[in-house]
C-alpha cells in the first residue's frame, strides 16, 4: 500500500472519529447570546471555536476523542463510535475499551472510554444493561489530559438510583487481556453476531464489527439522546436526588416569563389552576438539562441551577395586578405583591416623567 493511499485511509478514519453536531439542538441555536461553552471547555485539543458570531469545529485539530459528547447539556454532539452491547443468557452487558488499551479488536473500542457520560449510561440502563466492563490505557500519561471519568459518571448515576431504591449499575475495570477474554466468552455463548449500520461503515474501511452497536440497538430513539438526564432516570414517587435543580429567587423575580419562554424542556412552566384561576410558576427539575438558558435570559438574575440536590421548590404562586402607571395587566410572585410595588416590570425601570414635555404659546 502506497503512502498516499495510507494517508487517505488514515484521514478518512480520523473523519469518522470526529463528532457531528445537530445544529438545531445546540444551545447557541436556541439562544444566540447563550453563555454555554461546555464543548469548548471539554476539548483537550482546543478544536472547538466559540466567538460572538460562530461555534465551529477545527477538524484539523480534532482527534476524535469524543470528550465533548457527554459535556453537551443538550446532547447536540454525536459520535460515530459506540460501546458494544452484548446479550449473555438474557443479560445485557456493555463492553467499552480505550483505543490505547492495546486490545486486538475493534468492536467496542472508542478513542476514549471517558466519552461515555451519564446520558449514555442511563440510556443503556433503560435498555436493560446493568453491567459495564471497561479497559483503558494509562490515563495519567494520556496527552488528552484529565477529564471526567466514566467511573465517576457511574458513581453519580448510582447515587441517584440508590436514592430511588433501585438496583445500581456495576462497573468492572479489567486488564486488556481479561477484557478480551470476557468479550470472547460472551460472544461464544451469545445468540450470534448481528451486523449494524455502524458496522457496515467500518467494514468499508476494512474494520470488522461482529456485534450490534448501541446506536443500532437504540434506533428509533433518536430524541432520547437529547433528553435531560433527569428524564432518563426511573420514575419515583419520593423526593429523590437529581443532577440539576432550577431555583427561582421569588424576592428578585419580576414575573417577566422569560425563563418559561426560553426553556427547551419545560423545566419552568407557567400554570393556571382552573378552579381558583391562580397562576404559578411550576418547576420540574427532572426536565432541567443545565443548558443555562434560563440563567442567561433572566434580566434580574433571579434564577440559579443547583447541582446534585433534592428539589424543594416545585411551585411559586403569582398574583395578578394592574399597573398604576400604564394600566397594563401583569403578574409577580406573591412575596413581591406584599410590598408597596404597584408598577409593572417595564414601568419600574422607565421614568415616565422623562417622556413628558410642556408646550408653551
List domains and CATH numbers for the chain. 1-78 (3.30.70.20), 81-239 (no CATH), 242-349 (3.30.70.20)
Q: Count, in order, helices (H) and strands (E) of the chain.
A: 14, 15
**What residue ranges in the chain does DSSP mark as E strands?**
20-21, 48-50, 55-57, 77-78, 84-88, 91-98, 109-110, 129-135, 170-173, 242-248, 268-272, 279-283, 303-309, 315-322, 329-333
Question: Which sign does the torsion angle of CA 342, 344, 350, 353 carry?
Answer: negative
| Whole-angstrom distance, CA of residue 151 vs CA of residue 132 | 10
More confident residue, 339 or 216: 339
Using the 8-state DSSP alphabet, how is residue 139 labeled? Answer: G
Are the CB atoms for 335 and 328 separated by under 8 Å?
Answer: no
| 56, 105 Cβ separation under 8 angstroms | no
Average of pLDDT values for 102-120?
Answer: 90
pLDDT of residue 6: 55
Q: Which of 45-54, 79-88, 310-319, 351-360 has the highest mean pLDDT?
A: 310-319
127-155 in b/e form (b: 16+ CB < 10 A) is: eebeebbbbbbebeebebeebbebeebbe
Lowest mean pLDDT among 12-16, 158-162, 221-225: 12-16
Of all residues in the chain, the percent with pLDDT exceeding 90 is 51
Q: Where are the alpha helices (DSSP H) in the chain?
A: 3-17, 27-30, 38-42, 68-71, 118-126, 150-163, 176-188, 197-204, 214-217, 229-232, 258-262, 293-297, 334-337, 345-349
Q: pTM for the whole thing?
A: 0.81
- Map residue 34 onto helix, strand or coil: coil
Asked whether residue 237 carries a pLDDT value surpassing 80, the answer given is yes
Helix, strand or coil, per DSSP, at residue 180: helix
Tell me the HSE value of 122 on the side-chain side, using a 13 A CA sphere: 26
d(CA 127, CA 112): 23
The CA radius of gyration of the chain, in Å to the nearest whole number, is 25
Residue 4: all three cell numbers together: 498516499
243, 159 contact by CB (below 8 A): no
The chain-wide mean pLDDT, for the chain, equals: 83
pLDDT exceeds 90 at position 165 = yes
Give CA–CA dist 308/2, Å, rounded: 54
Q: How many CB atoms lie within 10 A of CB 88?
A: 16
Pairing of strands 315-322, 279-283: antiparallel
Amino acid at each position: 500500500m502506497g503512502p498516499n493511499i495510507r494517508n487517505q485511509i488514515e484521514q478518512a478514519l480520523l473523519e469518522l472519529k470526529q463528532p457531528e453536531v445537530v445544529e438545531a439542538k445546540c444551545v447557541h441555536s436556541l439562544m444566540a447570546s447563550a453563555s454555554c461553552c461546555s464543548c469548548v471547555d471539554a476539548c483537550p485539543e482546543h478544536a472547538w471555536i466559540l466567538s460572538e458570531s460562530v461555534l465551529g469545529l477545527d477538524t484539523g485539530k480534532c482527534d476524535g476523542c469524543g470528550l465533548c459528547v457527554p459535556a453537551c447539556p443538550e446532547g447536540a454532539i454525536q459520535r460515530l463510535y459506540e460501546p458494544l452491547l452484548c446479550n449473555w443468557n438474557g443479560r445485557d452487558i456493555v463492553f467499552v475499551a480505550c483505543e490505547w488499551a492495546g486490545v486486538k479488536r475493534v468492536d467496542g473500542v472508542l478513542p476514549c472510554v471517558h466519552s461515555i457520560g451519564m446520558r449514555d449510561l442511563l440510556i443503556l440502563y433503560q435498555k436493560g444493561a446493568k453491567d459495564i466492563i471497561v479497559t483503558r490505557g494509562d490515563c495519567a500519561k494520556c496527552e488528552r489530559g484529565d477529564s471526567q471519568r466514566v467511573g465517576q459518571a457511574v458513581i453519580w448515576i448510582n447515587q441517584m438510583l440508590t436514592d430511588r431504591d433501585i438496583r445500581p449499575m456495576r462497573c468492572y475495570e479489567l486488564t486488556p487481556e481479561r477484557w478480551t477474554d470476557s468479550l470472547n466468552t460472551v460472544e461464544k455463548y451469545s445468540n450470534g453476531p448481528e451486523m449494524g449500520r455502524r458496522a457496515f461503515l467500518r467494514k468499508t474501511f476494512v474494520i470488522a464489527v461482529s456485534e450490534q452497536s448501541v446506536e443500532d440497538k437504540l434506533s428509533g430513539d433518536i430524541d432520547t439522546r437529547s433528553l435531560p438526564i433527569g428524564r432518563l432516570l426511573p420514575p419515583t414517587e419520593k423526593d429523590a436526588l437529581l443532577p440539576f435543580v432550577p431555583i427561582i429567587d421569588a424576592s428578585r423575580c419580576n414575573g417577566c416569563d422569560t425563563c418559561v419562554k426560553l426553556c427547551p424542556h419545560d423545566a419552568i412552566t407557567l400554570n393556571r389552576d382552573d378552579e381558583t384561576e391562580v397562576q404559578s410558576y411550576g418547576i420540574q427539575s427532572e426536565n432541567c438539562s443545565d443548558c443555562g438558558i434560563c440563567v442567561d435570559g433572566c434580566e434580574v438574575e433571579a434564577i440559579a441551577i443547583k447541582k446534585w440536590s433534592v428539589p424543594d421548590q416545585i411551585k411559586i404562586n403569582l398574583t395578578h395586578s394592574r399597573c398604576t402607571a400604564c394600566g397594563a395587566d401583569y403578574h409577580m410572585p406573591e412575596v413581591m405583591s406584599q410590598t408597596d410595588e404597584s408598577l409593572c416590570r417595564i414601568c419600574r425601570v422607565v421614568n415616565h416623567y422623562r417622556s413628558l414635555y410642556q408646550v408653551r404659546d
